[in-house]
Amino acid sequence: MGNCFTFNHQNATKIYKLRYSGEHGGFRAKMTINQAEYFNWVYTASLLVFLHRREETIMGESVSYQIAPGEETTFVIQRNVYTRLGKPYGLCIKSKTEVKSYYNPGSAYTIDVSIG
């Protein structure tokens, strides 16, 4: 129902990196929302922002942030890195084959959606 744009897509030929954070060093984008290009049954125009790693594929149910036209929004992002401790603190696996898969091959997985 709208245009999608991915900044720093995983297949991009050039990857942009931020050297500084904050208002003057972070990523800034100015977007234009043309309400006339929306379907006539859509009452609200907005931007949906998905923040994710380059290698992740987003879905409609992924966490997103809605921005209303005429508004300014700031995101502060912090990356957490966890190191899993091996024995004697826990059991860590070295390969995903060590864990049983609970997916049923040949079955379709869907998500219920209500449009109304």
pLDDT tens digits along 3-55:
778 888 888 889 888 888 777 777 888 888 877 777 777 777 788 888 888 88
* pLDDT tens track for 46-90: 888 888 888 888 887 888 888 888 888 888 887 788 887 877 887
Chain centroid to CA 36: 27
| 73 occurs within a structural domain | yes
Q: Which domain holds residue 73?
A: 1-83
Q: What is the 3-state secondary structure (H, E, C) of 43-84?
A: CCCCEEECCCCCCCCCCCCCCCEEECCCCCCCCCCCCCCCCC
| 98 occurs within a structural domain | no
| 50 occurs within a structural domain | yes
Strand partners for 48: 66
| 27 occurs within a structural domain | yes
| 106 occurs within a structural domain | no
Total domains present in the chain: 1
| 12 occurs within a structural domain | yes
Cβ-Cβ contacts under 8 Å for 39 (sequence gap 6 or more): 1
Residue 36: φ, ψ to 5°: -65, -20
